[in-house]
Amino acid sequence: MTKRKVQAIRHIGFEDLGSFQAPLRAAGYEIEYVDVAEQEVASLDPLAADLLVVLGGPIGVNDHAAYPVITEEIELLRARLAADRPTLGICLGAQVMAAALGARVYPGSQKEIGWSPLELTATDTPNPLAALHDVPVLHWHGDTFDLPEGCARLASTPICHNQAFSRGPNILGLQFHPEALAARFEHWLLGHASELATAGVSPVALRRDTALNGKTLEEAGTRLLAEWLARLA
């Protein structure tokens, strides 16, 4: 059987597919990482992969002058989303997707870093995030975005109104991190140490909360992705 391919655009080594790797492989996907520091995003065929995932990272959509890769990603996603090819964005990835769909991306009222549950939105069809009901998820962002035209809001938090959106079965943007692995979380704390210090967020508290919530999120995140993959058109 020919395997399907997922391309995962990765901005920083430790923000990878995490717990999502297992359900992807179980669904028959071969995983290919595209590290933007080493490979030209503009060289990618926007329609080639069976699934495209744009992962998180420490830069923002509005940093395009300093980091031209953002512009390349927006152009790639414009073409892919116009063709309604299966696409998933996580944190920065969701923001890039929103920008590619014409929505405004801008600084939020405050940074949202830490663990808290989502308020899931009532939707006309089953909410793709149902597996996360009452499950604390990892938030790690300063920017937010307006809901793109033609998309459905899936979840909110008191700090961030637009935590997730979908457009039909194939397009899903997640502002939070459902893929984080507790066993590798020290990479996050070390890699983002400067941001945590600037934001006044305690790595000790984050480490403690990850120990409490990480396993539950891994299980729920795995269900979320497996269910979403099964519904792809």
Over the stretch 4-63, which tens digit does the pLDDT of each residue have?
Answer: 999 999 999 999 999 999 999 999 999 999 999 999 999 999 999 999 999 999 999 999
Q: What does the alpha-carbon distance between residue 90 and residue 72 come to, in Å, rounded to a whole number?
A: 17
Q: What local confidence, expressed as pLDDT, does residue 83 receive?
A: 98
At 1, the pLDDT band (50, 70, 90 cuts) reads low
Tell me the two tokens of residue 146: 């307006």
SS3 string, 150-196, reads CCEEEEECCCCCCCEEEECCCEEEECCECCCCHHHHHHHHHHCHHHH
What is the arithmetic mean of pLDDT over 229-233? 93
Q: In whole angstroms, what is the distance from residue 160 CA to residue 231 CA?
A: 27
